[in-house]
């Protein structure tokens, strides 16, 4: 075996090489303080992106300056963590934040790449629920206002039939009273839903077309806020008053089951349409720090996503109104209404939520958010 002789100078060079490699590895591996700083940058970026997506007018000039810097820093952090490879949870978390920021800051970068036959269902079933959650305060306010006014109309008409003539169509109220007077003992009042099952298909098709056109009308009405408030209020009160009239004959439960069997979907679609128009009008009128044209571009896309779920909802409501509401028992109608509400809650509340990491970025105790 050949013997290798090393002198002091050779050993010094070897020690120097090991020291240099150790120094390079130390520089490549961030310290615990650096990990904590990276964590703060990532969550600062996510917070700013959430505020940009929900209320951009509240961002300060400093926030707007920080956004591109933090976005670039997040890309570097994600790359560095992937290179190290010793923190899988941190890698997933950094990529999640980076992807979310990319989607917010470059929301229209990939526009047009999805074919239309995939884009339309995606808008209705994925982007729509996301926008509803984003605009939940507006949607909730519209829903509470609408059903609150309907309850007010019911109470008023239940106490005084004359109120229904004042807020609704007198001819419709007169016809309803005539039908109620003509009821046999034990017979349930079905309002105008007296067509036979053989006419259900044709009637359902007409209802769908009518509902979709009314949906577009509600969107347009939403642009004119004072007119919108008056028309929506009158519509809600008149529906409640119509049911309130039936209360005098003990038929309010029967007609309410018919109306809500399909109305759970139909009225929610109307509320979404009105909300989309109101959101557009308000944002264009008060664009905040954005230019009016840029604000219009952003909000019209949001409004389109907000009203998109109304299309499948109105189609389903038309089928229910044609085939179920006029022909089923009160129990079946109530069951359909409750199931429709459950499906909407699950759809609006959970569909379209992005994946979240299942572990925190570091030992600071701050984990992923859903």
Q: Write the Ramachandran bin of 186: left for phi over 0, alpha for psi from -120 to 50, otherwise beta.
A: left
Neighbour count for residue 268 (Cβ, 10 Å): 23
Q: What pLDDT, on a 0 to 100 scale, did the predictor assign at position 262?
A: 95
Instruction: Give pTM, 2 decimals.
Output: 0.70
Under 8 Å between Cβ of 67 and 52: yes
Distances (CA, A) of 355 to 92, 97, 107, 215: 10, 11, 18, 33
Q: What pLDDT, on a 0 to 100 scale, did the predictor assign at position 274?
A: 93
Q: What pLDDT, on a 0 to 100 scale, did the predictor assign at position 50?
A: 86
What residue segments make up the domains of the chain, in order of their start? 28-105, 117-350
Q: Which residues contact 209 (CB under 8 A, 6 or more apart)?
A: none
Averages of pLDDT over runs of 10 residues in the chain (370 residues) are 44 50 44 73 89 80 87 90 85 88 73 75 93 94 96 96 93 93 88 85 92 90 87 94 95 93 96 93 84 85 94 96 92 95 96 55 39
Q: Which helix (H) or strand (E) holds 355?
A: none
């Amino acid at each position: 075996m050949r013997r290798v002789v090393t002198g002091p100078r050779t050993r010094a060079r070897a020690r120097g090489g090991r020291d240099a490699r150790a120094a390079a590895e130390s520089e490549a591996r961030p310290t615990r303080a650096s990990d904590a700083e990276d964590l703060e940058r990532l969550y600062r970026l996510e917070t700013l992106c959430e505020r940009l997506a929900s209320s951009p007018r509240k961002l300060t000039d400093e926030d707007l300056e920080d956004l591109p810097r933090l976005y670039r820093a997040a890309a570097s952090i994600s790359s560095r963590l992937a290179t190290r490879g010793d923190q899988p949870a941190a890698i997933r978390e950094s990529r999640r934040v980076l992807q979310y920021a990319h989607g917010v800051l470059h929301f229209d970068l990939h526009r047009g790449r999805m074919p239309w036959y995939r884009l339309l269902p995606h808008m209705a079933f994925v982007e729509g629920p996301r926008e509803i959650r984003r605009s939940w305060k507006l949607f909730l306010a519209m829903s509470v206002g609408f059903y609150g006014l309907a309850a007010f109309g019911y109470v008023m008409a239940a106490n005084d039939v004359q109120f229904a003539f004042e807020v609704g169509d007198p001819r419709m109220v007169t016809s309803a009273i005539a039908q109620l007077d003509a009821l046999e003992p034990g017979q349930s009042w079905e309002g105008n839903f007296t067509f036979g099952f053989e006419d259900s298909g044709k009637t359902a098709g007409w209802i769908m077309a009518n509902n979709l056109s009314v949906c577009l009308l509600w969107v347009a009405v939403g642009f004119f806020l004072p007119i919108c408030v008056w028309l929506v209020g009158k519509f809600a009160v008149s529906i409640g008053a119509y049911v309130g009239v039936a209360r005098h004959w003990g038929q309010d439960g029967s007609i309410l089951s018919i109306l809500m069997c399909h109305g759970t979907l139909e009225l929610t679609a109307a509320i979404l349409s009105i909300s989309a128009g109101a959101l557009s009008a308000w944002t264009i009128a008060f664009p905040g720090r954005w230019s009016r044209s840029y604000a219009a571009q952003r909000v019209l896309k949001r409004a389109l996503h907000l009203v998109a779920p109304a299309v499948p909802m109105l189609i389903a409501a038309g089928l229910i109104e044609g085939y179920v509401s006029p022909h089923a028992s009160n129990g079946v109608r109530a069951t359909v209404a409750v199931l429709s509400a459950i499906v909407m809650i699950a759809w609006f509340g959970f569909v379209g939520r992005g994946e979240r990491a299942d572990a925190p970025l570091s030992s600071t105790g701050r984990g992923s958010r859903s």
